[in-house]
Amino acid sequence: KSIVGGEIVSYTQMTDEARQVAEDRMVTAAQTWADAVVAMRFASDSIAEGTIEILAYGTAVKFA
């Protein structure tokens, strides 16, 4: 499918799950002292063929 186009459903599911895990880890880390995360972003990269790395990052803020 990647040659002729179209969605590879299992790959889409894997990336959706990886994004959710990355976001959950970011939120858990921020909850130790922050009130919110702003300017949140995702970044992705392929480490090796058939793999993907997802990074969730943002600025953790504490309200005064």
Q: pTM (2 decimals)?
A: 0.81
Instruction: Calculate the alpha carbon distances from 11 to 16, 20, 27, 40, 61 in Å.
Output: 9, 14, 24, 23, 34
pLDDT at site 2: 58
pLDDT at 1 over 60: no
Q: Confidence band (pLDDT; 50, 70, 90) for 45?
A: very high
Residue 14 · residue 51 · CB < 8 Å: no
State the Cα–Cα distance between residues 49 and 59, nearest whole angstrom.
31
Q: Confidence band (pLDDT; 50, 70, 90) for 4?
A: confident
